[in-house]
Chains A and B, each alone.
Chain A
Amino acid sequence: MSTLTSTPTVGDAPARPCTFYVLALFFAAYVLFLYGPMLCMYVLSFQGEHGALSFPMRGVSLHWFHQLWEGRSADIGGAVTRSIPLALAVMAITVVVSVAAGLGFRRRVRGSSALFYAVIVSLTAPGYILGIGTGLMFSLFGWQTRWYTSALGSHLSWTLPFGVLITFAVFGRFDAAYEEAARDLGASPSQTLRLVVLPILAPGIIAIALFGFTLSYDEFARTLQTSGPNNTVPIEIWSMTQNVTSPTIYALGTVTTAISFLCIGAAIIAVAVIQRHRRAPARSR
């Protein structure tokens, strides 16, 4: 197949067509639209003590972060110590369940189509409705909703569809011949999984882990009716939108986005390292 570099554009003209510049400008505008408001919010979270919710900046301070830390408007510390373990648990379960399902979906067994449609329902059904349903299920069974039971389950109904869709994209390129070869060479099923299948799928697995963590960490609609007596971070953010009218909420936005960025950065670096590792022996060949 011709690569992007060898066949440059639709027009094959050596010089860039004028539409390139128009679309490049369009793309730049989209990126500005995407990041501009967020950047404004980060800057405003460093607003001075007497500053307001919008520009101009009245000095620069960590006052609002301090306010946030003091916990005057919400129990952020507590929420973070729940949201992060929850996201880690959701991430681990999402990786294991999605990879297993991805392996299972390669064969079109009876029932797999129905299960696939269940995945699509889980992805497209309004999260708030699924949350209400899970909350009702718990209350009618007489169980107490908790962030580590009901919210964990409803987060999985959001992260698993993404995990499964990623395995579809990754496993589509994964040749079953590798597994056969490993078996022919005398590998046990667990050795095949550990030494052949998982290393090949590693970048996809990191992507699933990234989706699992970040989507759970930021999940809001499904959590409202399922988190129980103790709130997660997005629920605290939500209650702040309802009653806080100071830049504290921007400070919280900056802090929580920084946590997300750390995860995204870690995942991207991990994938880059794996890819480099792979390319190195290939070049010497």
Chain B
Amino acid sequence: MTPQHKSWLQLAPLTLVLLLFVAVPLVFVVIVSFFRSDGFDTIPAFSLENYTALLSSSLTLSLYLKMIKYALMTWAVSLVVGFFVAYFLVFHVRNRSVAIGLFLLCTVPFWTSNVIRMISWMPVLAEQGVINSALLALGLIDTPLRILLFSDFSVVLAYVHLFTIFMIVPIFNSMSRIDRKLFEAARDAGAGRFKTLMLVVLPLTNSGVVLGSIFVVTLVMGDFYVVKVMSGGGSASVVSAMYDNVSTLLFPPAAASAVILLLILTVLIVVLTRFVDVRQELVQRS
């Protein structure tokens, strides 16, 4: 057996699983997007009516605008938070074990249920919740703030809570790889700490930022349950509209909407990965 054959053999199980549970299902989504539905049944056909209905509806545009707004807000906040958390862990914590411990502290919630973590905001943000009670007790407000829960604020807050870890890890990775000798060089060349940050750290962290941005933006764009629960039903997203379709067994319109969203996500990822060789970024080690 040649080494090449051995590699193929080792990659075969992964290929099989991805074919069966990613590629073929996506093909079925595309096929069903051309089917018709009469309210009860899905009827095999080749019809563009799902697409024409979607593209001519003003609801579609407003769903996408809402989704883009959530994605941008979440991206901006998680980028700032992720950058400074990673910066602190990599450059300010001197003891390596402490750094790893603090890093794990940030990661542990990721290994617990997202739905539960989202629900845990309810007692904090509710009208009689922790924040309102505290503000009332301090005399800062007279009536409970209602915008804390079931609003755009609570949706973005939950996104940031759930997804910032996807920004921290890639940025942490890039920063850990920066050669510390570069800082000496920058200092010798007369750069202050701020200049070193802007001219050395930021450019070398770029690829981590791009990778983290891809994760956060795609996660927000693919979400349906955060927007459903945290907006109290007041807002919808592209995927939550799909969810509503599917709960009334309207599979073809949901499939068409899925195809359009997947196309947009693909374009977005292709554009963003122009700036970074993802595979190289993940393999390369200092």
Contact = CB atoms under 8 A, between A and B. Distances in A.
Given A220-B115, A237-B113, A97 B214 contact: no
Contacts of B279: 113, 116, 168
B22 A118 contact: yes
Interface residues of A, number: 105
A54 B126 CA distance: 8
B275 interface: no
A133 interface: yes
B8 A111 contact: yes
A119 B22 CA distance: 9
Contacts of B24: 133, 137
Contact of A132 (B23, B108, B246): B246
A48 interface: no
B274 interface: no
Interface stretch (A28-36, A58-66, A70-78): A28-36
B70 to A, nearest CB: 14
Give the size category of B's interface with A.
Answer: 35 or more
Interface string A128-153: 11101110110010000000000001
Contacts of B28: 133, 136-137, 140
Q: Most B CB atoms within 10 A — which of A31, A124, A237, A241?
A: A124
B261 interface: yes
A124 B111 contact: no
B138 interface: no
A122 B25 CA distance: 11
B113 A115 contact: no
A129 B92 contact: no
Given A37-B124, A169-B282, A124 B265 contact: yes
18 contacts: A7-B180, A23-B84, A27-B88, A36-B124, A40-B124, A44-B123, A93-B17, A107-B4, A111-B8, A111-B11, A112-B11, A128-B242, A133-B29, A136-B255, A169-B285, A220-B113, A221-B222, A238-B115
Question: Which label, helix, strand, loop or mixed, suits the secondary structure of the A interface?
Answer: helix
Contacts of A100: 10-11, 13-14
A105 B11 contact: yes
Interface in A217-234: 218, 220-221, 225, 233-234
A127 B226 CA distance: 14
A257 B116 contact: yes
A221 B8 CA distance: 31
A125 B133 contact: no
A10 B196 contact: yes
A252 B119 CA distance: 11
A101 B25 contact: no
Nearest to B173: A169
Contacts of A52: 128
A165 interface: yes
Given A252-B116, A260-B112, 19 more contacts: A1-B180, A8-B94, A9-B91, A27-B102, A30-B106, A34-B106, A53-B123, A93-B17, A101-B10, A104-B14, A125-B218, A127-B222, A136-B255, A165-B282, A214-B111, A215-B111, A218-B113, A237-B113, A257-B116
A120 B278 contact: yes
A112 B7 contact: yes
B66 interface: no
A152 to B, nearest CB: 9
B145 interface: no
Lowest 9 CB-CB distances: which A-B pairs, in order? Answer: A133-B25, A126-B222, A104-B10, A104-B11, A41-B120, A214-B111, A37-B120, A153-B21, A101-B14
A160 interface: yes
Given A129-B222, A133-B29, A260 B113 contact: yes
A129 B258 contact: yes
A281 interface: no
A12 interface: yes
A154 interface: yes
A1 B115 contact: no
B197 interface: yes
Contacts of B95: 4-5
